[in-house]
Structure 1
Amino acid sequence: MMRFYTINIKKTVDFTIIGLATLTSLTALADHTSRVLPLQTHAAFFSSESQQKIPLDPQVFVAAPTAPAATGPQGIKHIAGVRNALISDMPELPIMNATGKSLDMTLKAWLAGQGDVVLTNMPNGTQKVTLILTHLYPHGVYSVFENHFDQKPVGFTPLDGNGTANKFVSDGEGKANVTIISPSPLTHDNAVLVIYHSDGKTHAKLRGDIGVDAHHQLIVRP
């Protein structure tokens, strides 16, 4: 069950956010009610939502010499010789994209990403979304999108609405603190989605080529 915390902030206060094994101190500068939501790996979220018999990551792959070329569970086509990474695979396995290009990290490193999202409604009807992230790919290029589960198929838009302020680069330790203004408050019809760009480029209003140069890493649904 997803848990969240409600914080009523009446002045500048220091508060501690406890998420997926992360402990981060923030200073809040708003007279509003904030919710703190722990992110989870997209692999775990997708596997649960789609009721995969064997939990997997639909957007990263591992070597499998006998595997044929195929189309994965999110419609991502991959070459022969690779398969979708399983959450239960050996942690030290190198991961790659759907074309077999190395992502320069292990499955353990990929699944280690974690963090929290702080949602704060603003007086003008917008929502401040603060992400506190750790164990990302060092100096990795990321963007933050919004899922629209009320659309069929599920839609995706930049969290800032136009794709100009939704990107960031993690530091040398794989950490990042990011604040983005969402044009309207997020509901359970939405999710905050952290996307890793393995080509080192963001794609404005688009996510990129999913499974090739763009990979969903973390997500939370309010």
Structure 2
Amino acid sequence: MQCLKGVLIALSFLGMTTGTHAQSTTELPFETHAAFFSAEVGLPVAIDPQVFVIDNDAAAAVGAQGIFHIVGLRNARVSDSPVLPVYSAIRKPLHMNLGQWLGARGAARLTPLSDGRETVAVQLAGLVPGPRYSLFENHFDQQPIGFSPLDGTGIKNTFKADSSGAARVTVTAPKVLTHENAILIVYHSDGLAHGKLRGRIGRDAHHQLIARVP
């Protein structure tokens, strides 16, 4: 029930209704990457593999998704206090707390085009004003999982939130997305666009939201 409620909230945020990709337009709610990752790998305690909190008893280690973190940090747990500040794997402040990080939300609208491409319109809220974000595409049919800029070029996939933390961005994907894909929101804690690359995951690039295509 809670999961369904979350979906409906995300879709009402855009004024959307649910649909399937077989139709002319598909609307997808985003979920936190923390929730998606934890469910995919079956973790008993949901964590965020790409953001960290201070734990003075934690040793340096290679953690989830092969991300090395320095001593005094551990992966943030979804159940941690929302007021805890979050950090990169090298203890660089992300300038927000865990509640703000996990509080981002939004949805995407996918519209196939006659030339085989697809328009993807994204609306988001709860972001941090100022820093850069990027839209990427997951390729679950690749091993290891591949990533490419959603616009195919890395030129038009980067954006910033406005002063209220909201953002609207529309890009044209080079191909229609399938269930082998997901739309990924990447937060750049270094404030830089990385073009066709996401950046250094866990250090200056962090997966925040994701929407798997049905």
Equivalence for 2:20: none
Residue 160 of structure 1, aligned match among 151, 156, 179: 151
Unmatched segments (≥5 aa) in structure 1: 4-16, 27-31
For residues 50 and 18 of structure 1, what CA distance do their matches in structure 2 show?
25
Equivalence for 1:50: 41
Match of 2:64, SS?
Answer: coil
Q: What are the residue-to-residue correspondences of 1:51-200 with 2, within 5 Å? A: 51-200=42-191
For residues 54 and 36 of structure 1, what CA distance do their matches in structure 2 show?
29
Contact 2:70 2:91 in 1 (8 A): yes
Contact 1:59 1:98 in 2 (8 A): yes
Normalized per residue, the structure richer in strand is: 1
Q: What is the one-letter code of the residue matched to 1:113?
A: A
Contact 1:195 1:218 in 2 (8 A): yes
Residue 20 of structure 1, aligned match among 10, 21, 24: 10
Q: What is the one-letter code of the residue matched to 1:131?
A: V
Encode CA deviations 1:40-60: one digit per residue, 9 max, x unaligned: 000000000011121000000
For residues 170 and 74 of structure 2, what CA distance do their matches in structure 1 show?
35
Runs of 4+ in 1 over 3 A off after TM superposition: none
Alignment root-mean-square deviation, CA: 1.8
For residues 212 and 139 of structure 1, what CA distance do their matches in structure 2 show?
18
Q: What is the one-letter code of the residue matched to 1:53?
A: P
Normalized per residue, the structure richer in helix is: 2
For residues 64 and 179 of structure 1, what CA distance do their matches in structure 2 show?
39
Match of 2:66, SS?
Answer: coil
> What TM-score comes out, normalization by structure 2 length?
0.91
Contact 1:19 1:116 in 2 (8 A): no
Equivalence for 2:197: 206
For residues 24 and 208 of structure 1, what CA distance do their matches in structure 2 show?
29
Q: What is the one-letter code of the residue matched to 2:212?
A: R
Offset, 1:159: 0.5
For residues 9 and 141 of structure 2, what CA distance do their matches in structure 1 show?
27
For residues 34 and 212 of structure 1, what CA distance do their matches in structure 2 show?
36
For residues 205 and 44 of structure 1, what CA distance do their matches in structure 2 show?
26
Q: What is the one-letter code of the residue matched to 1:91?
A: P
For residues 9 and 100 of structure 2, what CA distance do their matches in structure 1 show?
18
Identity %: 50
Offset, 1:21: 7.4
Offset, 1:39: 0.4
For residues 18 and 83 of structure 1, what CA distance do their matches in structure 2 show?
33
Encode CA deviations 1:98-140: one digit per residue, 9 max, x unaligned: 0011111000000000000100001111100000100011122
Encode CA deviations 1:6-52: one digit per residue, 9 max, x unaligned: xxxxxxxxxxx9543752358xxxxx821100000000000000111
Contact 1:39 1:115 in 2 (8 A): yes
